[in-house]
Every structure is written in C-alpha cells, then in structure tokens.
C-alpha cells in the first residue's frame, strides 16, 4: 500500500464517542484539560458533545455531567488552532441544538442518520448550509448494513442537502478492510470531486487502523479516531497508533506523535472507568454487527436480569437494531429472562 | 337510520386514505370530500371510487361548495407547513379542523386523556400531537395522575416504510411537538421525545418506550393499576395497543415498553404509528359529532385574522 504524500485530517472522538464508556460523566474541567493538550499536539479537529450527540441527555442514553452548551462553551473558547465539531442525530437533537452549538463556537456540524435514512438530515443540513463558514458533514451510521451502491445513493442525498463532507461510519466495528475500500472507492467515484470523504471506525474486531488505511487508500481524507481509543465498544481507531502508522507510511496528519502518545497515556487512560479494549462483549459487537454504544446497556441488563451480555448483544444483532435503540435492550432482556426463568 | 356529520379529508396520502377507510365504518361521521393537490394522485382516485367528491386544487377547490355540501368537520393529513392556511379557510366556512399534522396551532388532543375537555371547550381546531404522542402520552398521564412526574421521556421506534416524507422532512417538529404534548397533556414537568427509524425487513411493529421520573418514590401498585387501566382505554380504539414489558421500577424511574400494531385498514399492520393517529383523529371527530348531533355544539364560522 503506497499512501506516501497523502494529506489527511484526523478528527478526535474522545470527548464525544468517549462519553459512552464514561457514561457521559466526563467533567467540563477534564474536557478543557484534554482539549487544550490536543490543541497543543496539533490535532486539527475534535468532537465535543454528549455521546449520542446534541440533545442526547436523556433517561434512554444517560444524563451527562454537564450540558452540551457548558461543554462546548468551555472548550471552544480555549482553542487556539484546533477546531471543534458537534454531532447531531435527527430524531434526538433538533436545529435548535445546532444553532446553540454554533453560538458556542463550533466550526463543524456532523449530522448523523442510520445508513438508509439520509433524508431525515435534510432539515438540519439545509439549515447548516445557511450558516456562513460552517463545515457540514453528513454521517451515515451502521454503514455495514447495506451494499456500497445503496450507501452511495444515501451519501449523495446528504451531499445534495449541502454536506461538503460525507462519512462512512462503521458504528458496529463490523467492517473489514475490503468492505471499507469498496464503499469509499465507489463514493469517491460518484460524489462531486470537491466533496470530502471520511471514515469513522470502531475497533471491535481490531480493524480500526487497517480499515482507516483502506479508507485513505480508496480516497477518504478525513479519519476519525480517539486517543487511547476512548470510544464506544472496544473504542474508536486508536488515534496515536494511527498517527504513528501514518508517519511511517508518509501520510501527513500534522499531529505531533509524541504529544499525542502522552495525552493517551497520561490523561485518557487514567480517566477510563474500565479498560476500553477488545474483550468478550466488545468483540461480540463487531462479530454480530451491533451498535457499539449498546455495550454498557447490555452489561447492565445482563447483570440485573441474570443473563449473558453476549446473548443479549447477539440477539440485538439478529433483530437488526439500529443506533439509538437503547430502549430495546431492557425490553429484550426482560423477554429473555422470562423465557429462561431468571425472573 | 341514524344521522351522521359530514366530513372532509385533506391529504389523500397514506394517512388520509387510512382515515377514510376507518371513517367509512363510522356511525357518526360520513366522509364526503377528499382534497388533494395532484390530479393523478391514487388517493384521490380511490376516494372517487368510494363515492367522495374530490379536488386536486387543494382546500380552495372545496371551499366554494363545502357549506352547501354540509361539511362540518375537516381532517388535515397534509403537512405542518400548509396546515395553518388550510385551517383558516375551513374554519371560515364553519367547519371544525382536526389537525393530524404536527403544526399544533390548536389545543392538543389525546383522546383517553383530554378529549372530553377539548370537545367541551368547543375548540374550532384541535391537534392530534404526533403518532408517538398518541402512543405514549396516555401512559405519561397514567403515571402523573397517580403522583407528580418531574420528567417524562418517550422513545418511538417506527419502521422505515411507515415514516413518510412528511415525517422525514419535519422530524424536528415531531420531537418538539411530542415533547410539548408530554408536558401539556401528559402532565410531566419536563418532556423529551426521541424518534428512531428502523429499516429492518420484515418491517418492525411500532415500538414505544415511556420513561417517567417521579418526584417521590413511585407507588408501584397504584402506578401499575393506572397504567393497565389506561392501556384498556386506548385499546378501545386501537386494539393492537399492547404492553410488552413493565412498568419496570428502578429508583424513581418508571419504564413502560409498548408495541402498537395497527388494524391494517389501508396501512400495513406494522404501521401502528400511523394507525393510532388516524384512529385517534376519528375518535375525536366522533366525539364532536355526538355533540353536534345532540345540538350541544354548532360549529361557527371564524373570521380570518
């Protein structure tokens, strides 16, 4: 694989996807401390939001330690070079949240839908297009669930609504490098040449780095990851590792590798409530194609109703659940527990 | 032969057509007009075949003759954006507007919770909240009538096939209007609504989760009784309104897991989200019709303002 001379933008997820393994309890002070260190390390873009995006504060997904507004305000005003993005899932957050985030100082809005439902992002991407200078990203989740041609048709919808960048998102950490390459390559061939292409990986099958490289080779120029992999499931593509690999391969990220490694080791890992890594349950997510943030919910329901969390996750995959259906987990666990006589 | 109140349906799409099929069975409502905007709409053709007058010129196409045709109740199954104009025009002709869009310019109506008050208030425009609202607000109310609810949250999961272009373009209106209904009709101090669209095949039956946070420790027995009683009330007009699990109590959290299967009139059975809207809209119209037929209420023309 020859990627020498390619320039890419890496986007850190610790302060958004990383909210999942932290049950959304990262404090404002921790966010500011980590964001400033990332700014100093030259990470160009970081995401700051509730794990489930703007407006994610809920019984269903968890109430965060502070509001999106508090996090964004505190982080944005401290950034010298690093830009801040916010995530928005239509159906959870609204254009009101989007406007609030813009007022807080974000430079990028990422509007995320399930891979087949891009048209629910029209309202938000259209509105975002009217905000001068706002970087607009369409983000298609669970992209493994449909074929490349179907996926590209959905990406085109987002491009049409005004996204200047579209993402192929492996929310379940299920994809293998060929799955990524074929989707990204077709998207690159079919979308406008000026539309940027991104890939967001999860490390559930330990494919984060390999998949991200495959994406870059096929034409993606934005890659999501998180330092020390702090993210849902087995985490996102471990960003310091990816940056090191990029350096070895001659791909320019503009990030100071050693500073990135130090943040991962000295700030992110000590903050973890549990070691975010490939283990039985997170591997099951990748194997069964399940939305990564279901992990802790399945563990909690398994403990409460005396079930195996792996069994719950496998069943959620079999039922083809999509992102956001966290409410399904306790409901399903109750059905399973009744069937097995554990309640 | 019992007398019926004549009605018009605006919007010959899935919702309008399902509503028409339900209304044809009504003992109190007689649908006489179907209003659309596209001449070749299959919904208009179907309505014509069922004996209704139709127009493809929108509400303006019906207005000149609606008084002569005796239309006293209109249903709007179009979109939030055009609803206000539609409502103004039919109100000016003396017809009550039942709003199935999320426009919510009139008071909310969730039949088992506040239909009687809405009818008693003689409102010339009532809003049916949203599909997710119709499926969940009765249960928020079932908890809040037992004890104070500081926060009510609902998660509605609908099949991709049952989420029409209106819902998709206006997804924010769904979340806002439903959240507002959870507060105003459900009785929660604060409300939040989430909608998830799932494309699985075969399509999943509408699922609804209701989470309430009570101010004090929940009275488990009283809440369970109240919830079960409310479910029976909804089942009177949506027989497929089923409790899957719960109420589950966890500290001050009360969670109820529901599934809503439709009657399968025009829309498939999995589209319980659409069925509960049309069923609730018709139930509301029938209550108005009873009042009109009993001479208790004469819908009056309202001035455009």
| Residue of chain B whose alpha carbon sits nearest to that of A146 | B199
H or E stretch including A83? strand A83-88
Number of H helices, E strands in chain A: 14, 8
A203 is known as an active-site residue:
no
pLDDT in tens, B255-277: 999 999 999 999 899 999 999 99
Whether chain B has a CB inside 8 Å of the CB on A320: the answer is yes
CB B209 within 8 A of CB B255: yes
| Residue of chain A whose alpha carbon sits nearest to that of B191 | A58
ipTM of the complex: 0.96
Residues of B numbered 123-152 whose beta carbons fall under 8 angstroms of chain A's beta carbons: which are they?
Answer: 151
CA distance, residue B16 to nearest chain A CA (Å): 22
CB B281 within 8 A of CB B115: no
**B128 contacts: CB under 8 Å, gap ≥ 6:** B98, B99, B100, B108, B109, B110, B134, B277, B280, B281, B284
Q: A237-246, B35-44, B166-175, B238-247: which has the minimum mean pLDDT?
A: B166-175
pLDDT in tens, A173-223: 999 999 999 999 999 999 999 999 999 999 999 999 999 999 999 999 999
pLDDT at B122: 86
Phi-psi region of A66 (alpha: psi -120 to 50; beta: other; left: phi over 0): beta
Overall average pLDDT of the B168-188 stretch = 94
Sheet of strand B5-10, all strands in order from the earlier edge strand to the far edge: B53-55, B29-35, B5-10, B71-76, B96-99, B125-127
CA distance, residue A204 to nearest chain B CA (Å): 23
For B159, counting Cβ atoms within 10 Å of its Cβ (0-12 exposed, 13-18 middle, 19+ buried), the class is buried
State how far the Cα of A68 lies from the Cα of A52, in Å rounded to an integer. Answer: 11
pLDDT in tens, A59-76: 999 999 999 999 999 999
State how far the Cα of A286 lies from the Cα of B56, in Å rounded to an integer. Answer: 51
pTM of the complete model: 0.95
- The mean predicted confidence, pLDDT, of chain A is 98
Residue B161 — very low, low, confident or very high, per pLDDT cuts 50/70/90?
A: very high
């Amino acid at each position: 694989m020859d990627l020498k001379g390619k320039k890419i933008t890496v986007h850190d997820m610790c302060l958004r996807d990383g909210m999942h393994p932290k049950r959304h309890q990262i404090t404002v002070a921790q966010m500011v401390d980590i964001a400033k260190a990332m700014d100093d390390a030259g990470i160009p873009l970081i995401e700051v939001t509730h794990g489930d995006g703007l407006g994610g504060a809920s019984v269903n997904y968890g109430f965060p330690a502070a509001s999106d507004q508090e996090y964004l305000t505190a982080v944005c005003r401290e950034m010298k070079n690093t830009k801040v993005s916010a995530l928005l899932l239509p159906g959870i957050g609204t254009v009101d949240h989007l406007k609030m985030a813009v007022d807080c100082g974000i430079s990028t809005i990422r509007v995320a839908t399930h891979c087949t439902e891009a048209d629910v992002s029209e309202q938000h991407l259209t509105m975002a297009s009217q905000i001068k200078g706002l970087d607009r990203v369409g983000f298609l989740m669970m992209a493994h669930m449909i074929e490349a041609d179907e996926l590209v048709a959905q990406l085109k919808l987002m491009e049409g609504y005004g996204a200047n960048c579209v993402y192929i998102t492996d929310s379940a950490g299920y994809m293998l490098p060929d799955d990524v390459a074929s989707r990204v390559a077709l998207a690159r061939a079919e979308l406008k040449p000026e539309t940027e292409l991104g890939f967001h990986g999860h490390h559930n099958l330990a494919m984060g780095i390999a998949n991200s490289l495959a994406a870059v080779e096929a034409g993606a120029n934005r890659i999501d990851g998180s330092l020390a992999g702090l993210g849902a499931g087995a985490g996102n593509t471990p960003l310091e590792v990816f940056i090191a690999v990029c350096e070895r391969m001659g791909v320019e990220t503009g990030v100071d590798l050693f500073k990135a490694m130090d943040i991962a080791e000295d700030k992110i890992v000590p903050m973890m409530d549990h070691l975010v890594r490939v283990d039985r349950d997170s591997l099951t997510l990748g194997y069964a194609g399940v939305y990564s943030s279901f992990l802790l919910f399945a563990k909690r329901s398994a403990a409460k109703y005396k079930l195996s969390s792996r069994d719950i996750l496998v069943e959620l995959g079999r039922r083809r659940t999509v992102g956001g259906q966290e409410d399904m987990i306790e409901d399903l666990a109750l059905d399973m527990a009744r069937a097995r006589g554990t309640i | 032969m019992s007398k019926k109140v004549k009605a018009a349906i605006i919007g010959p799409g899935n919702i309008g057509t399902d509503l028409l099929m339900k209304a044809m069975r009504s003992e109190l409502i007689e649908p006489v007009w179907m209003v659309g905007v596209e001449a070749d709409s299959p919904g208009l053709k179907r309505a014509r075949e069922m004996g209704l007058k139709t127009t493809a010129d929108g509400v303006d196409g019906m207005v000149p003759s609606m008084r002569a045709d005796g239309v006293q109740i209109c249903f709007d199954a179009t979109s939030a954006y055009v609803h206000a104009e539609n409502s103004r025009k039919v109100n000016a002709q003396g017809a009550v507007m039942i709003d199935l869009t999320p426009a919510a310019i009139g008071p909310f109506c969730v039949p088992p919770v506040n239909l009687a008050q809405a009818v008693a208030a003689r409102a010339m425009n009532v809003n049916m909240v949203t599909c997710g609202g119709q499926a969940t607000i009765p249960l928020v109310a079932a908890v809040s009538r037992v004890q104070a609810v500081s926060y009510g949250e609902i998660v509605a999961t609908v099949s991709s096939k049952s989420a029409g272009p209106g819902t998709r373009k206006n997804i924010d209106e769904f979340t806002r209007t439903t959240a507002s209904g959870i507060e105003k009709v459900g009785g929660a101090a604060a409300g939040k609504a989430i909608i998830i669209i799932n494309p699985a095949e075969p399509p999943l039956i509408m699922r609804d989760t209701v989470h309430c946070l009570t101010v004090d420790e929940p009275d488990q027995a009283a809440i369970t009784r109240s919830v079960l009683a409310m479910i029976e009330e909804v089942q009177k007009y949506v027989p497929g309104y089923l409790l899957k699990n719960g109420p589950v109590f966890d500290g001050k959290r009360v969670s109820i897991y529901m599934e809503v299967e439709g009657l399968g009139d025009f829309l498939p059975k999995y589209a319980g989200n659409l069925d509960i809207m049309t069923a609730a809209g018709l139930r509301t119209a029938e209550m108005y019709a009873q009042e009109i037929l009993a001479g208790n209420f004469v819908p009056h023309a309202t001035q455009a303002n």
